[in-house]
């Protein structure tokens, strides 16, 4: 509620008559704010931290451009130059683009969907701390004079110990892998939140379009990030203990890294683009005053992009000697992805065609996005053609293309989103005048910088060179590009100044300042901690346009679910994933230090590996396990009910496959399957391209393999039985079988020497991965047994048992797949 006399935005309204309820949702004051797990706090942490990384990375870009301003410049030496452009790309791609967009998703989605918080607030907080600590590890490389210098893609063999002997690549591999935990945890959290906590009546077809974009993005992250995680682990293991994954002399292949990296790297471009396009699809109808044209077309386009974008990875590898027919396959896929992209762009253009838009600052950035991104898309089609790609490969033409796509497709919508949603964060409006200055400086500076790079590239200037000779046609183009980069940076400075200064200079934001139709503007900025005192029933995709009663009354007087259930617990409404009808009450955690402490323990573990202090690394891992146990120890509340008034009585934390924890487990299993598939891809790839190394390292033991499979199947069966008859003894049986299966798998691969060949090393990694899965089941089952023995569980509280079944089944499936892989070479001989 805005207190006009004080001229300061206030969060509220805080209802004095419901003191216990309001206090339950309040953010802890002072330093205890660090214990907050609210999506609003965590989302803002992601956004602000991402913005800081953006500014650091942007500063590094200016150093690069300054070095290239004149030929034969000595501003940076070659080694420093390599570090600067590597860190620029790394920070932008890993620590800015994805986290900041996820931050917006974390902040906005519950507000748009009609939820009081995300369903796993502690997971979100844990993910943020992992992101922060991982980012600090990467940045710390500057302090230790060991900044990575192998490019943001860390290609092998350059990044192997032989050619990069220091710690620089280790900083990159460990820091980035750690930070990626944030991305995958946020993905699982967003999937569960979007599918399970929507307002009553909000079926999938009445969901705000931004939620569709974020849902597809989250699924893409669950599948897209695991290949890089696996690749990073393989490379770090090779660097630490010498397993020869990428050593051709021992049956490895440097191209394996490229495959794994780009299996992540290409979808990542879409993972960056889609949320930003979702922001555009949300903001554009507001300024046009009409709903998005072609909602169904946009949904189809987003879903198809989410799939087809995974079929393009090798178009980054056109110059690596792949068979021509394979190149053609990837060229075809790269071409076809333009169709769903074009469908989306036409949805935006036709929305614009419905009515003259209000030319606000966010609208300027939307128009800038359309103009720039379409040009980037067109040069993308050019690069999809193999002959042109060979001509332009690794030239500044590619640099121009990727910046048109990423700055046009992500940064411009993002800045527009800042202007659009900042009133929600701070209760004040950013400046229209400064915003337009920022836009025009950025827009003109961008084109001066990057449009000219197309020409520079076509004139033959390669990427990543620290300087160039004079008089070969690159001088003036580089000079102008550098001047353009300064103009672009000036635009960013104006935006940042406005973002900071509006907190005391900006006018107070009125209720629904942009006259938007989506639910996040129901309350006057700044919305109260619980987002919705009552969660209203929704009848359309633009409830604030189509249900006038929502804005006619004070927001806290809105009728809806949970209005008459104010008490000292945090909770929100859980829904059916498809229909959106209320299904349950989801109990949510209060502020806690556990996510921070657990993430810190993991950070200690990762950092200790970097410093080769393995005892400390193990201690950190054990501490993290205790942290997770403390996290999950709370008593189950399944079986309780809450009277919600309008929608009757709803059960708390329902034990069902439609429940939020089960959906989260499915999302987690997608990550696990993608990790396993990535390892399997590595095995199959090396087996296929280096056939002479297949059996040089010894054969796995098939007896122990069959024992592992039998135990895995038995473990699944007992886990399934435990769902119907939850008893501690069955939990112990699952734990025992999981342990034996893991031990048997270890015995199975023991006869092979992982140091002898790359294929044997990948078999060990495969066994290690499944062993980890078995350990999770063992730990989980012992934990459940302990809870039962200590009287923490009442009859009917079987949510963990329901969730354990798919985990056990998928692990057993991995064991069977591993058995086939281990047995195949020996069966081939029998044939």
Partner 1 sequence: MTDRPPRPQTRPHIAPGLRDVARPVVIWTLHFILVYAALSAACAERAVASYPAAVIAVSIGTPVALVLAGWGLLRRGDQPMRIAARVTIIISLLAILFNTAPVLLLDGCR
Residues that bind partner 1 (CB under 8 A): 203-205, 294-297, 299-301, 303-304, 306-308, 310-311, 323-326, 328-329, 331-333, 335-336, 339-340, 343, 576, 578-579, 581-583, 644-650, 658, 687-691
Instruction: Name the minimum Å distance from CB 683 to partner 1.
Output: 13
| Residue number with CB closer to partner 1 (194 or 301) | 301
Give the residue with the Cβ less far from partner 1, 306 or 416.
Answer: 306
Tell the smallest beta-carbon distance from residue 578 to partner 1 (Å): 4
Q: Please name which of 10, 5, 208, 256 lies closest in space to residue 110, comparing C-alpha atoms.
A: 208
8 Å CB contact between 407 and 276: no
561 vs 744 by CB, closer to partner 1: 561
CA 420/CA 337 separation, integer angstroms: 30
Task: Compute the least distance from the CB of residue 195 to partner 1, in Å.
Answer: 12
β-pair partners for 130 = none
Q: Which is nearer to partner 1, 156 or 309 (CB)?
A: 309
Cβ at position 561, least distance to partner 1 in Å: 10
Nearer to partner 1, 62 or 329 (CB): 329
Distance of closest approach, residue 256 Cβ to partner 1, in angstroms:
13
Nearer to partner 1, 306 or 408 (CB): 306
Q: How many other C-beta atoms lie within 10 A of the C-beta of residue 447?
A: 17
Alpha-carbon distance of 416 to 408, in angstroms, equals: 12
Q: What are phi and psi of 130, to 5 degrees?
A: -60, -45
Closest distance between partner 1 and the C-beta of residue 28, in Å? 33
Cα–Cα distance, 31 to 334 (Å, whole number): 49
Residue placing its CB nearer to partner 1 in the complex, 485 or 644:
644
Give alpha helix (H) positions in 144-249.
Answer: 168-196, 209-241
Query: Which residue, among 239, 249, 93, has the nearest Cα to 163 in the 3D structure?
Result: 239
**Cβ closest to partner 1, residue 29 vs residue 296:** 296
DSSP state of 692: G
d(CA 96, CA 100) in angstroms, rounded, equals: 6
Of 361, 365, 378, 262, nearest to 309 by C-alpha is 262
Proportion of the chain in helix, strand, coil states, percent, rounded to 5:
70, 5, 30
Tell the smallest beta-carbon distance from residue 264 to partner 1 (Å): 17
**Residue closer to partner 1 (CB basis): 151 or 248:** 248
Comparison of 650 and 655: residue with beta carbon closer to partner 1: 650
Shortest approach of partner 1 to residue 344 CB, angstroms?
11
Structure tokens at 336: 């076809």
**What burial class does residue 151 get, using C-beta atoms within 10 Å of its C-beta: 0-12 exposed, 13-18 middle, 19+ buried?**
middle
Q: Which residues are 395's β-sheet partners?
A: 462
CA–CA separation, 813 vs 438, rounded Å?
Answer: 54
Which C-beta is closer to partner 1: that of 5 or that of 688? 688
Q: Which is nearer to partner 1, 680 or 719 (CB)?
A: 680
Closest to partner 1 by CB, 116 or 259: 259
- Phi, psi (degrees; rounded to nearest 5) at 96: -115, -65
| Residues present in the chain in total | 831
Nearer to partner 1, 40 or 537 (CB): 537
Distance separating alpha carbons of residues 546 and 561, to the nearest angstrom:
19
In the complex, least distance from residue 584 CB atom to partner 1, rounded to whole angstroms: 9
CB of 39 to partner 1, least distance (A): 25
- When the beta carbons of 264 and 425 are compared against partner 1, the nearer one is 264
Report whether the peptide linkage leading into residue 526 is cis, meaning its omega lies within 30 degrees of zero: yes
Q: How far is the CB of 583 from partner 1 (least distance, A)?
A: 5
Contact call for residues 585 and 638 (beta carbons, < 8 A): no
Task: Using alpha carbons only, give the angle 112, 117, 119 rounded to the nearest 5 degrees.
Answer: 110
Q: Is there a contact between 213 and 277 (Cβ–Cβ < 8 Å)?
A: yes
Give the span between the Cα atoms of 511 and 19, in whole angstroms: 24
Distance CA 281, CA 264 (A): 25
Taking the least distance from each CB to partner 1, the nearer of 648 and 796 is 648
**Structure tokens given for 484:** 């353009």
Q: How far is the CB of 303 from partner 1 (least distance, A)?
A: 6
| Least distance to partner 1, CB of residue 650, Å | 5
Query: Measured from the CB of residue 647, what is the shortest distance to partner 1 in angstroms?
Result: 5
The angle that helices 39-67 and 121-143 make with each other, rounded to 10 degrees, is 20
Is the four-CA dihedral 784, 789, 794, 796 of positive or negative sign?
A: positive
* Rg of the chain (C-alpha set): 27
| Distance in Å, CB of 587 to partner 1, minimum | 16
Chain position carrying tokens 């913005």: 51
Q: CA-CA distance, 827 to 340, in Å (whole number)?
A: 45
Nearer residue to partner 1 within complex by CB, 506 or 651: 651
* Helix orientation angle between 702-724 and 799-830, rounded to the nearest 10 degrees: 160
Q: How far is the CB of 269 from partner 1 (least distance, A)?
A: 18
Give the nearer residue to partner 1 in terms of CB position, either 248 or 460.
248
**What HEC string does 25-83 produce?**
HCCCCHHHHHHCCCHHHHHHHHHHHHHHHHHHHHHHHHHHHHHCCCCCCCCCCHHHHHH
Q: Are 222 and 185 in contact (CB under 8 A)?
A: no
Least Cβ distance, residue 325 to partner 1 (angstroms): 5
Neighbours of 485 (CB within 10 A): 23
**Smallest distance from the beta carbon of 167 to partner 1, in angstroms?**
35
- Reference 547, options 209, 214, 213, 114; nearest CA is 114
Residue among 756, 762, 748 nearest 681 (CA)? 762
């Amino acid at each position: 509620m805005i207190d006009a006399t004080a001229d300061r935005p206030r969060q509220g309204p805080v209802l004095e008559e419901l003191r216990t309820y309001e206090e339950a949702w309040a953010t802890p004051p002072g330093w205890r704010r660090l214990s907050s797990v609210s999506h609003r706090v965590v989302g803002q942490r992601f956004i602000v931290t991402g913005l800081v990384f953006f500014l650091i990375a942007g500063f590094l870009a200016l150093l690069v451009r300054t070095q290239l301003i004149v030929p034969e410049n000595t501003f940076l030496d070659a080694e420093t130059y390599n570090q600067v452009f590597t860190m620029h790309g790394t920070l932008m791609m890993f620590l800015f683009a994805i986290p900041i967009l996820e931050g917006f998703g974390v902040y906005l989605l519950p507000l748009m969907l009609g939820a009081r918080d995300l369903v796993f607030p502690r997971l979100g907080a844990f993910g943020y701390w992992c992101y922060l600590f991982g980012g600090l590890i990467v940045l710390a490389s500057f302090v230790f004079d060991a900044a990575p210098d192998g490019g943001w893609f860390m290609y092998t063999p350059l990044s192997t110990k032989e050619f990069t002997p220091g710690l620089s690549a280790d900083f990159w591999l460990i820091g980035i892998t750690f930070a990626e935990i944030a991305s995958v945890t946020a993905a699982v959290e967003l999937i569960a939140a979007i599918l399970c906590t929507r307002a009553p009546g909000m079926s999938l077809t009445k969901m705000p379009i931004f939620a569709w974009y974020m849902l597809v993005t989250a699924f893409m992250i669950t599948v897209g990030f695991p290949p890089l995680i696996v690749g990073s682990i393989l490379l770090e293991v090779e660097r630490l203990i010498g397993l020869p994954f990428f050593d051709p002399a021992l049956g490895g292949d440097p191209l394996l890294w490229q495959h794994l990296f780009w299996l992540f790297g290409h979808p990542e471009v879409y993972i960056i683009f889609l949320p930003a396009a979702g922001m555009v699809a949300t903001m554009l109808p507001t300024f046009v005053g009409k709903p998005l044209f072609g909602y169904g077309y946009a949904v189809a386009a987003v879903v198809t992009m989410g799939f087809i974008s995974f079929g393009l990875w090798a178009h980054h590898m056109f110059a690596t000697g792949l068979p021509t027919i394979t190149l053609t396959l990837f060229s075809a896929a790269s071409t076809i992805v333009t169709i769903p992209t074009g469908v989306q762009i036409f949805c935006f253009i036709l929305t614009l065609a419905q009515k003259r838009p209000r030319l606000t600052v966010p609208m300027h950035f939307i128009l800038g996005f359309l103009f720039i991104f379409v040009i980037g898309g067109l040069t993308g089609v050019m690069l999809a053609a193999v002959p042109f790609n060979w001509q332009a490969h690794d030239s500044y033409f590619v640099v121009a293309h990727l910046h048109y796509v990423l700055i046009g497709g992500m940064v411009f919508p993002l800045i527009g989103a800042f202007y659009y949603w900042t009133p929600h964060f701070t209760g004040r409006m950013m400046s229209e005048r400064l915003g337009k200055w920022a836009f025009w400086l950025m827009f003109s500076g961008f084109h001066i910088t990057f449009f000219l790079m197309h020409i520079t590239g076509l004139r033959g200037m390669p990427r990543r060179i620290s300087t160039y000779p004079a008089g070969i046609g690159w001088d003036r183009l580089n000079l102008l590009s550098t001047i353009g980069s300064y103009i672009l940076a000036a635009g960013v400075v104006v935006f940042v100044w406005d973002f900071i200064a509006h907190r005391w200079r900006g006018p107070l934001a009125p209720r629904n300042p942009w006259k938007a139709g989506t639910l996040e503007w129901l309350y006057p900025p700044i919305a109260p901690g619980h987002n919705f005192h009552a969660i209203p029933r929704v009848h359309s995709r633009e409830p604030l346009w189509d249900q006038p009663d929502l804005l006619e009354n004070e927001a806290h007087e809105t009728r809806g679910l949970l209005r008459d259930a104010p008490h000292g617990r945090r909770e929100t409404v859980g829904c059916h994933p498809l229909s959106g009808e209320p299904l349950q009450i989801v109990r949510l955690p209060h502020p806690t230090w556990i996510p921070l402490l657990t993430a810190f323990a993991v950070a200690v573990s990762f950092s200790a590996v970097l410093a080769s202090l393995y005892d400390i690394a193990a201690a950190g891992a054990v501490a993290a396990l205790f942290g997770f146990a403390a996290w999950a120890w709370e008593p189950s509340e399944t079986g309780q009910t809450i009277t919600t008034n309008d929608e009757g009585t709803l059960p708390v934390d329902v034990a069902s496959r439609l429940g939020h924890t089960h959906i989260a487990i499915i999302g987690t299993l997608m990550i696990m399957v993608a990790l396993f598939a990535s390892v399997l891809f590595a095995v199959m790839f090396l087996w296929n391209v280096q056939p002479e190394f297949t059996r040089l390292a010894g054969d796995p033991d098939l007896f122990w393999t069959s024992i592992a499979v039998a135990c895995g199947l038995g473990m699944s069966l007992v886990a399934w039985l435990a769902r119907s008859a939850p008893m501690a003894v069955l939990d112990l049986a699952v734990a025992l079988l999981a342990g034996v299966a893991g031990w048997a798998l270890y015995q199975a691969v023991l006869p092979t020497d992982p140091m002898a060949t790359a294929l044997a090393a990948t078999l060990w990694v495969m066994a290690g991965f499944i062993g980890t899965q078995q350990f999770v089941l063992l730990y989980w089952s012992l934990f459940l047994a302990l809870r039962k023995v200590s009287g923490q569980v009442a009859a009917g509280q079987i949510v963990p048992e329901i969730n354990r079944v798919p985990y056990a089944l998928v692990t057993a499936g991995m064991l069977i797949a591993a058995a086939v892989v281990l047995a195949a070479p020996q069966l081939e001989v029998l044939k």
